[in-house]
Every structure is written in C-alpha cells, then in structure tokens.
Structure 1
Amino acid sequence: MLSRRLFLKSSALIGCSAAAHPMLSSIAFATAPGENRLVVIILRGAMDGLDVFQPYGDPALRKLRKTLSAGPDVGAHDLDGFFALHPSLAGLMPLWRAGELAFAPAVSTPYRDKRSHFDGQDMLEAGTGTDLEAKRQRDGWLNRLLQGMPGVQSETAYSVGLDDMRILDGAAPAKSWAPQTRFRLSAQGQRLLTHVWHDDPLFRPAGEQAIEIINEGLDKIETEAGPTREAQALARFAAGRLNGETRIATFSISGWDSHARQPQIIDRALQRLSAAILTLRGDLGANWSRTTVLAMTEFGRTVRENGTGGTDHGTGGAMLVAGGNIRGGRAIGGWPGLGEGELYAGRDLMPLRDIRAHAAWALRDLFDIPPDVLERSVFPGLDMGENPRILA
C-alpha cells in the first residue's frame, strides 16, 4: 500500500494538501462484545459545518456569507427554526424526521491556530489534547479503546485506497483494498503463487492480501455508477461486516477543502456522505436500530467567505450523528453566536465543546466503558463533562 509519506513526495501539485484530497479513503474494523455498533467516518479536508448545518436564525450569518447558501429561502431544509440542512443532504431529511439524525454544532478538537490538515487529522485520530502529543502518540483512539475493552478481538483492518487510518493505528494487523480492485486468479494459480512467495518476507504479505480479497469477493461489491460510487462501496463493505461479528467500523471520506468554489466542492462531498449513510441504513437492515454513526472532521472553516467563493481553515466545526439508536432530530449542545466579540480570534466559530467528549460519551453508552478509562487512556487528558445523551 502506498504510504502517506511516499504519496506526498510524488504529489506536489494536488492542491492545498494531500490530506484533503478527495481520492484518499480508508476503512478498518474490530469485533466487540454485545450488539451495539459504532461507525466513525473521518471527513478529511475540514468540512464547513456552517454550510452543512446552516444557522440561518443567527442574524450575523448573512452579513458574513453573502453568496453561500444560508437558510430555507435559498433551498436549504429547515430543521428547527434556527438551523437548516444543506440542500445536498436532502436525502437525510427522513432520518431527521425519524429521530435518526442529529448534529453537534460548535465543536472541535483542542487543535488551535496552526490550521494544518495533517496536524489536525493526526490530533483528531490520535485523540490527544495537543498536536505535540499527537506526534508522540503511536496509536489512535479507537485502537486504545479496543485495548481497554474486555472480550475484544481485533479483526484484520483494511485500509482502502491510498491513505493510512491513524485512528486505528496500533497492534492490530492491517491490510489494503481499493473499491476499483479487480483480480482474476484460479485456485491452481493461487497455490502456485503461495509456493513462490512463501519464503519472501516482502512479497508474501501482499500476496496473501490479494488472495484474501479474491476469496472474500471484496472486488465484486456492487454499487451504482457515479460520483458516490466509492462512498457506497465503503459503506456496503462496512455494513456487510457489521451484519456479522464486527461491531466497530471506521472509514474516511475526503474532498472537504473548499477554499474556492465552495458550493461545487461541498455539494460533491455531501453527496458522498449522504450516499454512505443511506447505504449503511439500507444494508444494515434491523441492525441499523443498534448502530451509531459519528462523522467527524479535523477543524471547521472561517465564518466569513473569502474572495473566491470559498472559506479558509478555521476552528469550530460540526459533528454529524446518525443511527437507529440515537436521540435525533435535534442540535446537540449550545450555540456561541456569530456576532462581533463572539468569534474565535475574530474569524472562526467559537468551539463550545471538545468533540472528543461527544465521542467519549457515545463509547460510554454504547460499550459501557468506564469514564476514567476514556479520560485517561482513550482520550488522554479529556474532561468528559456532562453527558450529551447522544443515544436514545
């Protein structure tokens, strides 16, 4: 699998950062006791929460964003009289009405001011309180969760596409798969290759992965053609595992970096996110009622639009929550306001809650993890605070 470092060396002209590139995605799984299921979707590139969940009831929004959509009168879908859902997520409105969709506005990791995609993503996936700790931490918060859960058996993790999945870095083995992969190899050919690479320490792991993909039929996942094809494939693959022994899945959806032409950029990214969630809901069937989906991004974007029809790297953002076992149809947490004196550093949405606290409480209620383990080991240095009661 192509490493992030090697990819960077060979990709100098792909835009703001390889960390925000729309062709990078990963997926990983683990088993756990019980019937509850967790899906963590990492939204790489810094999703603009103010555009996805538009606080049109805040009078300052229209002054700050004169061309970006802002409310039901320009096509967004009213949620509660204050927030509206971006038009590209129209397919999720039935989930909102059914109490299966919610969001937490004004959240962020403790990452501040440097606004680097890689540093922000490392901190989000490492689950640490500072970017320096994230660099020192060798594993991700989901991997540390698995290490601290009794009765957990790590399933082989798959990294899909080109990117590494820091959130599940750790002792568990990892393998790679891409939705576009196609293999044709007979049983006799498999036996011959196994004999050839048996004593080769470099080629043997890759060959074993290829044969596993062939035998599991991962290359035959059916999806509809179009821009959401890979997102559907990721979600379909995840749902298939979650309908078996898997209880925790995580994958990433990239393409959220919207410095220019934000309406076009965010429309494509939201289509992929919507397709992934709806595919999960459809393919999980009865298991959807035991599933919680957390969609998290490394940081938000500036409250003011820039001169090229986009927004720049910011601080406070939003977390999307979905699933059949959540208390949906609501905004989780408070609202800091967009007026003068209410912004972070005079330019960004002020974060009111550490996004790690929402994830920690979801883990507490899903898997009965003690708060002291979550605050000490899974998310070092976190103060979980009050339970937002994400689950029903």
Structure 2
Amino acid sequence: MTGTLTRRRFLAQGAMVGCSLAASPLVTPVSFAQMPSDNRLVVIVMRGGLDGLDLLRPRQDALLPILRPNLAASLDGETPLDSGFGLHPAAAQLLPLWQAGELAFVNAVSTPYRDKRSHFDGQDLLEAGVSSFGTGGARDGWLNRAIGEISGATVRTSYAIGAEPMLLSSGAAAVTGWSPDVDFVLSEQGIALMQKTMGQDPEMAQAMNIALGLASGATGSLADDGNMGAAMDSMMNPAGKSAGQAHLRIAEFAAEQLREDARIACFSLGGWDTHFRQLNTLRRPLTQLSDTLLTLKEGMGAAAWQRTTVVAMTEFGRTAAENGTGGTDHGTGGAMVLAGGALRKAGVFGQWPGLEEAALYKRRDLMATDDVRRWAGWALRSSFGLDRSLLEMHVFPGMQLGDDPRLLA
C-alpha cells in the first residue's frame, strides 16, 4: 500500500510520542487509517468479556430473576427498549442516541471460540477475525486486512500507544508499538532542544507538534494555534491530570482525527471482567463506554457523525447464572453495541435463544445464535463496499456473511 506517510515521518512521530507519553493518559493502542470515502468506522474492543445479559437485560424472559436473583432484582433506573429488553442504568445517558436512531444492540453473538474461555485466546481470535490459529506463521488483524483491500486507502497515521499494538490493526499496514517510561517527563530545556533541532524540518516539526498535543490534550497544530506554552506546562506538570479519564482523551483525539481526514479508528476499553460484585464493578466500564460514544459524537460534529458507524465488540459473554460472589464467570454468547449517525435505525437485533437450561450452551452460557464477525463484515461492506467473497475468504476467513441486516441508512 502506498501513501503520503513515509517511514521516516512515521518513525519520527512514534519516537516523539514515546518521549512525551509520560504526561498523557493515553494508555491503549489507537490506530487510524485514511481513505477516499466520507464514511467512517470506529471499532472498539471491550476487553474482559462484557456481560451482555446485564447491559441488555432480557426482562421478557421469566428465567432471568431465577438465574440472577441479585443482578436482576431491581428495575430502578432501567431504560425500557425493544422486545422486552432493558438497558442497564449505568448506560442511561445513551438514551438520546437511542431516541435519535443512533444506537443499536445485537444479542447472542460470539466468535467461533468456545469452551476454554481464555481472555488472551478470545481477544486474539476476536481481533484476528479467524476461527482458530494454525501452527506458526504471523498473525494479523481483520481490520488491517480490510484496510489493505479498500481501493485507494492509505495509512495516514498509526498509533499503538501502550504496552503493545492491537492485533486488530496489525498486519501489512504497519503499526508501531512501544512501552513508555511513565516516570519520564521532558524538561523545558529538552523541549527547547527538540524545537531547535527539528524546527527546520517540516515533517519532524509536525511530528513534534502531534506528540505535544497528545501530552497536553490539545489537537491540531499547536504551533499555529498558540497552545505550545500550555503543552509545555502540561508535560512538565503531569500531576494535574485527572485520573481515570484516559477513555475521554482517547475519544477526543479519535474524534478530532475522524472529523478531518481519518476514516477508520480502533481502540480498546477495559474493565469488563466482572467475576465479583458485578452490581458495582460493571458500572464503571459502562459509564466509560457511554462517555466514549457521546464524546465521539460531540467531537466529530454533526456532518462526520452522520457518516459514522461504531462497532463495539467483546471476546465472549458471561454465564447465564450469577455466581456465589455476586458476579458472573466467562461464558459464550454475548452482546455487541452499534452506534453512529449512519445507522438505519435503533433496535435490538439478533435471534434470542432463551434462558431455558436446555437452550443454554453446555447448560451454563447464553447460546450464540450468530457470528459477531458477520455484523462487523456488514459494517465494512456497507461503509466501504468490500465484496462479499473478499470478506468471507480474506478478511474473515470461513465466515458466512449471510443476509444483509441493513445496518446502515
């Protein structure tokens, strides 16, 4: 794939961001791609195994309070949705998106991964988009493979900020990852030295501005808008940063890029592993997901948001019954979240299998009635026109795309 991003420019940006990351709470891989299309796609990996039965509560199923006497005990704050489902109270701030036709859910979906229920394996298979890994060979991600097949697509910028890059965006369109030294903060003299040594090279100067922008929370060209001083102050005084707000910084930065010329973005949100006291532990990631979606919409602006589809997916669901510690364990069938102004309508999609013991997978998990990859495939096809055969054989090998669910308007 060719494009305007040279290896020299990419490495310059990578090195600069690596140096300045100590003052930035961006601690998850974020990747972007640019292409000649007005449509946008955002893929969010919800790491840890979202309990779809709690996010999207099947109140129409009489067995729910029997299997979950504590988790399903109260209707307080629950938002009624279609077909007897109710939205978890911690996601209630998403109701305006639902009312605007910009929020939807697919229940009882899963990758082909079964039984071992390992986060590591489940996430790798989710991001690779395959049924299983063969012996040996390099692994790449389904989103990276899709980008490589979109006519005219070029990789503009690609960030892997954190311990390692996302498999989802790894592959022929190179993504560089690094582990920053969180104790390192650039001094005023260090910043001045960078300005002096890189100021004569437009590409290096642009890379420095991007890095300083990440550290300060500013976006765009800092040298042009007068925010360089604030960026320097922020880098030298990171203690003032608000704890626990990384998801907002990620969403703001993603929205800025997507409002301009980026067309595909991916990142992850953690905290979905709720083995204990789920009444409390699920609230934080649900609030962060809600904040992220609303921040994307606000930051992108109406025009870009109307051409955007957000696909939030998780490695597996959780057990149908709550456990003895008020939580749920690793399961199979789960839920995915769809958002964006490009959606055709709000709704709860998917085939509901029921909670009867005989209907459960291995008599313990919600039965998966659809492949999560199929919905991601249709999001790609509807957004960027990828051929069915390409999606089934290359992007998601062995996946059957099936009938068009008519996701997008």
TM interval, shorter chain, is 0.7 to 0.9
Dislocated runs of 4+, deviation >2 Å: 132-137, 160-164, 171-178, 180-188, 191-194, 207-215, 222-228
Aligned to 2:258: 242
* Aligned equivalent of 2:158: 157
Residues 149 and 369 in structure 1, CA contact (< 8 A), matched pair in contact too: yes
Q: Which residue number corresponds to residue 6 of structure 1? A: none
Which deviations, in whole Å up to 9, do the C-alpha atoms of 1:284-322 show, x marking residues without a partner?
112110100000000000000000010000000000000
CA distance in structure 2 between the partners assigned to 1:98 and 1:158 by the alignment: 32
Equivalent residues of 2:49, 2:314 under 8 A apart? yes
| AA in 2 matched with 1:172 | A
Q: For each residue in 1:4-28, what CA deviation from the matched residue of structure 2 results, as whole angstroms up to 9, or x when unmatched?
A: xxxxxxxxxxxxxxxxxxx962211
Q: Deviations over 1:129-148 (max 9, x none)?
A: 12x24974521001101111
Matched, 1:169 2:170: yes
Residue 106 of structure 2 aligns to which amino acid in structure 1?
A
CA contact (8 A) 1:127 1:134 kept: no
Q: Counterpart of 2:45 in 1: which secondary structure?
A: strand
For residues 344 and 63 of structure 2, the distance between their equivalents in structure 1, rounded to whole angstroms, comes to 29
The residue matched to 1:331 in structure 2 has which SS?
strand
1:228–1:271 contact (8 Å) kept in structure 2: no
Deviations 1:135-162 (A, max 9, x none): 7452100110111111010123112333
Q: Residues 76 and 89 of structure 2 are in contact (CA less than 8 Å); yes or no, is this contact kept in structure 1?
A: no
TM-score when scaled to structure 2? 0.81
28, 32, 35: which one pairs with 2:35? 32
Correspondence for 2:348: 331
Cα deviation digits, residues 184-221 of structure 1 (max 9, x gap): 55665116777xxxxxxxxxxxx999846435x11121
Separation in structure 2 between the aligned mates of residue 159 and residue 234 of structure 1, nearest angstrom: 12
Partner Cα separation in structure 2 for residue 134 and residue 45 of structure 1: 25
Matched with 1:354 is: 371
**Which AA in structure 2 matches 1:254?**
G
Amino acid at match of 1:174: V
Normalised to the residue count of structure 1, the TM-score between the two structures is: 0.84
Count matched residues. Answer: 355
Counterpart residue number, 2:58: 55
| Partners of 2:169 and 2:175 within 8 A in 1 | no
Aligned equivalent of 1:138 = 139
Gaps of at least 5 residues in structure 1 are 1-22, 195-206
Q: Any conservation in 1 of the 2:357–2:364 contact (CA below 8 Å)?
A: no
Aligned to 2:294: 278
CA contact (8 A) 1:184 1:214 kept: no
Offset at 1:226?
5.7
- Answer whether contact 1:302 1:349 (CA < 8 A) is retained: yes
1:387 Cα deviation from its structure 2 partner: 1.1
**Residue 134 and residue 332 in structure 1: after superposition, are their counterparts in 2 closer, same or farther (change >3 A)?**
farther
Write the distance in 2 (CA, Å) between the matches of 1:208 and 1:172: 24
Relative to 1, partners in 2 of residues 1:189 and 1:271: Cα closer, same or farther, differing over 3 Å? same
Which secondary structure state, in structure 1, belongs to the residue aligned with residue 346 of structure 2?
coil
Q: 2:272 corresponds to which residue?
A: 256
Tell me the distance in 2 between the aligned counterparts of 1:348 and 1:134.
29
Aligned residue number for residue 328 of structure 2: 311
1:214/1:333 CA distance change after superposition, 3 Å: closer
1:76: how far off? 1.2
Q: Residue 338 of structure 2 aligns to a residue in which SS?
A: strand
SS in 2 for 1:122: helix
Query: What's 2:211 paired with?
Result: 214
What RMSD, in angstroms, separates the aligned Cα atoms of the two structures? 2.7
User: C-alpha distance in 2, partners of 1:25/1:272?
Assistant: 14
The amino acid of 1:189's aligned partner reads L
Displacement, 1:332? Answer: 1.3
CA offset at residue 265 of structure 1?
A: 1.4
